[in-house]
Amino acid sequence: MILSVSRRTDIPSYYSEWFLNRIKEGFLYVRNPMNPHQISKVSLSPDVVDCIVFWTKNPEPMLDRLEELAAYDYYFQFTLTGYGRDIECNVPHKRERMIPVFQRLSKEIGTARVVWRYDPILFNRKYTPEYHVKAFAQIAGELRGYTESCVISFVDTYRKNVKQMQELGVYELPPEELRAFAKELSRIATANGMMIATCAEQADLTDCGIRHSSCIDKERIERIIGCELKIAKDKNQRTECGCVESIEVGTYNTCRNGCRYCYANHSEESINKSCALYDSRSPLLCGAVTEADRITERKCESQKESQLRFWN
C-alpha cells in the first residue's frame, strides 16, 4: 500500500513527532471524515507499506530524524511558491528558510525523491502572470540540480474557499494567454534541467512542453522502490487526477499554514479546536477515541510484484 501523508494537512511541518511515534508503534488510527465515529486502524509495518508520499510546505522538523524512516521507501512533494504571507500566512520565508531546506533535503535523500510543486497558481492584481514567471524563474534557478521534477496546477474554487477567492480578486486567464504563460514556465524548467508536469488539470498543455502527471505517481514509486506495483487509479479522487490508490492518514481542519486558497479547513475556529486536541502519543491525529467510536482493521497489503527489476 501507499501512504499519503497527507493531502489534508501538513504532517511533516506540524505533526512529524506524532507520525514518527506512530512509525515506532507500528500503526495509526484514521477517522473517516464522512462518518466521524468510524475509525480505521492502519498497519505501518514495512512489510505492507510500499512507499510513503509526504506533502509539505516545510519538512524542516523532519530533517534531523530521517534515519527513523530507514525501513521505508518514500519521497517528498515540497510546495515552494512565490507567494508572500498575504496568501501563505504561516509559511516561513522562502528565500531565507525554505530554499535552503529544500536543498538540504535533496542532498540527504536525492533529487529523485524531492518533487518541487509550484502550485496552486492563482492570478490577481498582485500575482500576475508576469509576477509568477519571475518568481518561478528565481526559484527554479535556486533548485537547479536539487530536483528532477516540477509540478504545477491552477487554483480551483470549492465551496470552502469561494469567499477567499472572491476577496483575493482571483481571475482566470484567457486560453491563449494561459498557453503562453505555460510555455514560458516550461522553457524555464527545461533550462534548469527539470521535467515539468501538471497535476489534476483538464487542460492539455502537452504542446507547451508540459505533460499530465500525478502526485502519487506509479512510475515514480516503481523507480524508487525498484520493482513494479500492481495498483489501480484512485477512484476516490477527481476524474482529472491520475494518482494511484493510497491510504490517506491526515485529518481535516488541522493545517496551520493558513493558506488562503485552502479547501481542507472550515475556519480558524475549527483549526484551533482540532489542534487543541493534539497529542503526539495518540494513535489519532488531533483527537481521541470515544465510546461511540467503532475501530476496524484496514486491509493493508503490499502491492509489489514478486519479480524485482532494475531501473536505468
List, for residues 250-265, the tens digit of each pLDDT value.
999 999 999 999 888 8
Q: What is the mean pLDDT of residues 25-51?
A: 97
What distance in Å separates the CA atoms of residue 182 and residue 185, rounded to the nearest whole number?
A: 5
User: What percentage of the chain carries pLDDT values higher than 70?
Assistant: 96
Beta bridge partner(s), residue 75: 53
Domain boundaries, the chain: 2-155+170-251+292-308
* Model confidence pLDDT, tens digit, residues 262-290: 888 888 899 999 999 999 999 999 999 99
What distance in Å separates the CA atoms of residue 63 and residue 90, rounded to the nearest whole number?
A: 19
Q: Where does 2-155+170-251+292-308 sit in CATH, by number?
A: 3.80.30
* Model confidence pLDDT, tens digit, residues 59-69: 999 999 999 99
304 contacts: CB under 8 Å, gap ≥ 6: 50, 225, 227, 228, 229, 230
Residue bearing the bigger pLDDT, 202 or 248? 248
Q: Which of 74, 65, 66, 57 is nearest to 14 (CA)?
A: 57
226: cell is 525498484
* Model confidence pLDDT, tens digit, residues 116-169: 999 999 999 999 999 999 999 999 999 999 999 999 999 876 666 788 889 999
What distance in Å separates the CA atoms of residue 307 and residue 1, rounded to the nearest whole number?
A: 17
Specify the 3-state DSSP secondary structure of 120: strand
* pTM beyond 0.75, yes or no: yes
97: cell is 528558510
Candidate from 30-39, 69-78, 151-160, 211-220 with smallest mean pLDDT: 151-160
Q: What is the pLDDT of residue 108?
A: 98
Q: What is the pLDDT of residue 92?
A: 96
